[in-house]
Chain A
Amino acid sequence: MKLSMFRLSYWNRRGSSFRSSPSLDPTFDGKSPSSVFWFVIHGLCCLISLILGFRFSHLVLFFLFSTSVTNLYTTPFLSAGNSGVSQLLRLKPLETVTNSSAKKNSRVVVGRHGIRIRPWPHPNPIEVLRAHQLLVRVQKEQKSMYGVRSPKTVIVVTPTYVRTFQALHLTGVMHSLMLVPYDLVWIVVEAGGITNETASFIAKSGLKTIHLGFDQKMPNTWEDRHKLETKMRLHALRIVRERKLDGIVMFADDSNMHSMEVFDEIQTVKWFGALSIGILAHSGNADELSSVLKNEQGKHKEKPSMPIQGPSCNSSEKLVGWHIFNTQPYAKKSAVYIDEKAAVMPSKMEWSGFVLNSRLLWKESVDDKPAWVKDLNLLDDNEEIDSPLSLVKDPSMVEPLGSCGRRVLLWWLRVEARADSKFPPGWIIKSPLKITVPSKRTLWPDSSSELPAAIKEAKSDTKPRGSNSKSSKGKQEPKAFNGVKVSTTS
């Protein structure tokens, strides 16, 4: 009990005052000859210790009474005050001092004990391994007790096509999916047919994948791209229906960013759920974006609307409507072509914000398939489908997830490179890279003059010029930079 030590220290500090008032300290009355004798010995030992400078008395008594103290290995002897002698004298069980003679002798002795240290106080590797196995087992048990009871398979639908940033985007999605603790089926639908590049990429994940090809090539405008992606997703849903895959279908676009909690959250969906997505309508041009926002604030003098698309509920947590990203401020300035340097706008309701139970898509009437869902086959091309809400006859039956849309668990982002950007297939470079900046004696102090040369080299390298630009090292006057602009050329 660590508080007693403060009390003891207090008592020690106030010891003199207590001793002066014998009424308070009851232990000092009734001086017997034996106590006087011990007092004299104590004083003698104190004097000797003062002279010799270490706890001589402690050592003497320690060796005298070593049978009763468990004398193992080491006992740290620190030089300190000699208040411990009186305690040492009481190493033997206190039979003479106990009040009631009828008490049995306790095994536990009051007084100083040795500090047991084993000769090799370091961890045994086998025990460490066992401890880690215990930790894993305990965590598994915790998960089964408090986590999701009977987890369902997650069926992820991702439309993709081969382009510069495909590796960038797919790596992100792939790594997120590899961390998902549930069974997973990844349906990758590729525009332009199945390519080896994509196939080898997703094979690296080790996940169960279904790689589908879609025969149209990805068009160049965002609008058309959205439409094609919709068709690709519906194609994937038809495969789910044909193969009667059981689980929860979620739409992970390849450039989206998912937090791991989204996979835990979607396990709670019964039939059709809606999540909140954070919309990152980002353009390469930071100045333009800030000017857009300033204009919006100036005009309306109200809080900028939140960049979130998702369900909104009333106070009793029931779904009452949808919150949609306000594309007004970007009306004139949004990107039309995929490689434009303007902000990319999401469609009204992005597919990735919805999850559905795969049984909704099955052909036969599953027992409790709700009546408010349209059959997938009847949708074909007759209507304009822009979001999974078209599948639902009664939108009020949609379940809001993520504490009713208040938790944003995934983010929508569209970043693409220029359409004519060149990149090595599979990002594997066959021949060594060409030198653009020859290495000097390194270090940075001189490099400010080197940097403009490097950028100039990089720029000049892409233009087909015959002359080698290696001669321009160190001779350039440093240009004024406001910051190095990173172009989206590869």
Chain B
Amino acid sequence: MLSLPSSFLGSKPSHTYPVDMKILSCLSAILLFLFFSASFAEQNVRTERISGSAGDVLEDNPVGKLKVYVYELPSKYNKKLLQKDPRCLTHMFAAEIFMHRFLLSSPVRTRNPDEADWFYTPIYPTCDLTPTGLPLPFKSPRMMRSAIQLISSNWPYWNRTEGADHFFVVPHDFGACFHYQEEKAIERGILPLLQRATLVQTFGQRNHVCLDEGSITIPPFAPPQKMQAHFIPPDIPRSIFVYFRGLFYDVNNDPEGGYYARGARAAVWENFKNNPLFDISTDHPTTYYEDMQRAIFCLCPLGWAPWSPRLVEAVVFGCIPVIIADDIVLPFADAIPWEEIGVFVAEKDVPELDTILTSIPTEVILRKQRLLANPSMKRAMLFPQPAQPGDAFHQILNGLARKLPHDKSIYLKAGEKELNWTAGPVGDLKPW
């Protein structure tokens, strides 16, 4: 800009004016553009946009991309179970129930099964609770089998693909392996009838029997209203370095330790119980949610299964999750860049956890906090009632939409059978 006046002065005004005016207008346009982009950038520096591996998929709208048909099952598979025990609505496996309710009133639902891309079976396999509120998975395989027998005999859509365009929500500990003990779950493997279907489950571990390749991992259910009731103002300074509340030793089932959490939680306790930077204990404080909002790092170690609602709570409260679970597959891993948001620590590195956490550069930590502050991140982890755009229900639908269009090979020719209806333990074959 400084050179222009001299050119103005030194040049003849008549024919050089238009050229100089063009340069002037171009430069001013560029400057204006830079100014506006700078101001936008300043707004965005507060919270960063999450870009997943497939672009900004967190904000995709699934409506119009897929159609889901909801089977009409007798209420003994869903409503009666809920009536028997309404605690199913509040425990961490409640996603199956809320997914059903969401689909019933969602715009992706279609009443015409011939135009549906995906078929949903409203069955609540995790709603058989003990008096203390824990689900027993022993009847679930039989229930699932009986439901599939029903849909395969009443509708032709199961048999035409043997379930390859059907999806099921199985939020139990080890998904469709239907057992809470890992060895037994591995022994059973995924229910044979569900081998071609898409499973929407909370369990995710690489190279594990109970995680099928095409499964969609979802976060466990955490009650959104309860969490939102405990928000504290964001300007309260974060003064806890590392925070964790939970068991380190499971004295009832694993008294010597080493079995529960593969020894990782016990290692955290033994190494850091005297470290003032680590606020870890087995207490049940009433200020649990508020404390998480005052911590920088929240530990999310594995327990009997690698997943836990702690991840959801950490993300909602803006605390950087420190994930200690080898080979875990985190929810919506294809839409959320977990490496940029959380810290992954191998189980063998737990004794050096303090070194690892303090050696993270400051800029990286601030960036992770900015990413976590993005509201779309928090929304994607929750199952709010009623459903909101960008929440976990929509992320599940987005995941299903990304698997479309179905490959032509899933449609079986007449008479072709892939599934073995008699496979599995004998006990599973009994009617439910």
- Interface-centre pick from A70, A118, A124 (highest chain B CB count, 10 A): A118
Decide: B430 and A5 in contact? CB cutoff 8 A. Answer: no
Contact A137 B258 (CB under 8 A): no
Residues of A within 8 A of B134 (CB): 3-4, 6-7, 10
Q: Which residues of A contact B235 (CB under 8 A)?
A: 142-143, 146-147
Query: Which B residues lie within 8 Å of A122 (CB)?
Result: 274-275
Closest to B304 in A: A4
A136 to B82, CA, bound (A): 49
Q: Is the CB of A137 within 8 A of B366?
A: yes
- Asked if A6 and B173 sit within 8 Å, CB to CB, the answer is no
Name the one of A94, A98, A115, A134 contacting B258, with C-beta atoms under 8 angstroms: A115
B residues bordering A, Cβ < 8 Å? 46, 92, 130, 132, 134-136, 138, 173, 180-184, 186-189, 205-209, 233-235, 237-239, 241, 246-247, 250, 252-260, 262-263, 266-267, 270-272, 274-277, 296, 302-305, 307-308, 326-327, 347-348, 350-352, 354-355, 357-359, 362, 365-366, 369, 373, 425-428, 430
Q: Does A25 contact B (CB under 8 A)?
A: yes
A462 at the interface (CB under 8 A from B): no
Please determine whether A106 and B207 come into contact, CB atoms closer than 8 angstroms.
yes
On whether the beta carbons of B255 and A81 are closer than 8 Å, the reply is yes
Q: Which of B253, B270, B272, B276 contacts A128 (CB 8 A)?
A: B276
Name B256's contact: one of A24, A27, A76 (CB within 8 Å): A76
CA distance A117 to B268 in the complex (A): 9
Which residue of the partner chain A has the closest CB to B136?
A7
Q: Give the docked Cα–Cα distance between A128 and B366 (Å).
A: 19
- Chain A 20-46 against B: per-residue CB contact (8 Å), 1 yes, 0 no? 001111110100000000000000000
Looking at the complex, which one of B209, B253, B262, B366 makes contact with A5 (CB distance below 8 Å)? B253
Chain A min CB distance to B356 (Å): 10
Q: Is the CB of A110 within 8 A of B182?
A: yes
A110: nearest chain-B partner, CB-CB? B182
Knowing A7-B134, A138-B366 are in contact, say whether A98-B209 is a contact too (CB < 8 A). yes
A371 contacts B by Cβ under 8 Å: no
Q: In the complex, what residue of chain B is closest to A148 when comparing beta carbons? A: B235
Complex alpha-carbon distance, A106 and B326, angstroms: 10
Contact of B187 among A77, A97, A104, A130 (CB under 8 A): A97
When A and B form their complex, which 9 residue pairs have the shortest distance between CB atoms, in order from nearest?
A26-B425, A99-B189, A4-B304, A146-B235, A26-B427, A1-B303, A118-B351, A9-B252, A139-B237
Give CA–CA (A143, B188) in the complex, Å: 53
6 A-B residue pairings within 8 Å (CB atoms): A5-B247, A5-B252, A8-B180, A9-B252, A29-B427, A78-B256
Question: Contact flags (1/0) for A286-330 with B, using CB distance below 8 Å?
Answer: 000000000000000000000000000000000000000000000
CA distance A98 to B210 in the complex (A): 11
Task: Report yes or no: A29 in contact with B426, Cβ–Cβ below 8 A.
Answer: yes
Q: Which of these, A116, A124, A147, contacts B263 with CB under 8 Å?
A: A116
Chain B's interface: helix, strand, loop or mixed, by majority?
loop
What residues of B have a CB within 8 angstroms of the CB of A80 in the complex?
Answer: 255-256
Q: Which of B130, B263, B296, B326 contacts A7 (CB 8 A)?
A: B130
Name the residue of chain A whose CB is nearest to the CB of B195: A100
A116 to B189, CA, bound (A): 31
Among A3, A24, A121, chain B packs the most CB atoms within 10 A around the CB of A3
A175 interface residue (CB < 8 Å to B): no
Q: Knowing A24-B138, A124-B355, A128-B276 touch, does A90 contact B173 (C-beta < 8 A)?
A: no
- Asked if B138 and A117 sit within 8 Å, CB to CB, the answer is no
* B183-A90 in contact (CB<8A): yes
B230–chain A nearest beta-carbon distance, Å: 18
- Kindly list chain A residues whose C-beta atoms are within 8 Å of the C-beta of B296: 134-135, 138
Task: Evaluate contact between A123 and B275: CB separation under 8 angstroms.
Answer: yes
13 more A-B contacts (CB under 8 A) besides A2-B246, A99-B189, A131-B241?
A23-B430, A84-B254, A98-B187, A103-B209, A108-B205, A110-B186, A113-B258, A113-B262, A116-B350, A134-B296, A134-B358, A142-B235, A143-B237
- Which of B182, B209, B270 sits near A115, CB closer than 8 Å? B270
How far apart sit A26 and B185, CA to CA, in the bound complex (Å)? 11
Q: How far is the CA of A121 from the CA of B189 in the complex (A)?
A: 40
Query: Across the interface, which residues of B come within 8 angstroms of A395, CB to CB?
Result: none
Nearest Cβ in chain B — how far from A67, in angstroms?
A: 16
Q: What's the least CB distance linking A183 to chain B, in Å?
A: 19
The verdict on A107 contacting chain B, using a C-beta distance below 8 Å, is: yes
Q: Assess whether A84 is in contact with B277, with CB atoms less than 8 Å apart.
A: no
User: Nearest residue in A to B327 (C-beta to C-beta)?
Assistant: A108
CA distance A124 to B275 in the complex (A): 9
* Other-chain residue from A7, A107, A113 in contact with B207 (beta carbon distance below 8 A): A107
Alpha-carbon gap, A108 to B362, bound state (A): 32
B233 to A98, Cβ gap below 8 A?
no
B188 A99 Cβ-Cβ under 8 A = yes
Known: A5-B252, A118-B271. A84 touches B205 (CB 8 A): no
- The interface centre, meaning the residue of B46, B256, B303, B427 with most chain A CB atoms within 10 A of its CB, is B256
B189 touches A7 (CB 8 A): no
User: In the docked arrangement, what's the CA distance between A110 and B326, Å?
Assistant: 12
**Chain B contacts of A2 at CB under 8 A?**
246-247, 250, 303-304
Give the complex CA separation of A92 and B27 in angstroms: 71
Chain B residues, CB < 8 A from A145: 46, 234, 373
Nearest CB of chain A from residue B49's CB, rounded to whole Å? 16
Cα distance, A366 to B158, chains bound together (Å): 78
Please give, as numbers and ranges, the residues of chain A lying within 8 Å of B427 by CB-CB distance. 22-26, 29
**C-alpha spacing A169/B275, complex, angstroms:** 42
Report A-chain residues with C-beta under 8 Å of the C-beta of B274.
121-123
- With both chains docked as a complex, state the minimum distance between the C-beta of A391 and any C-beta of chain B, in angstroms: 33
Write out the residue numbers on chain A whose beta carbons fall within 8 Å of the beta carbon of B252: 5-6, 8-9, 12
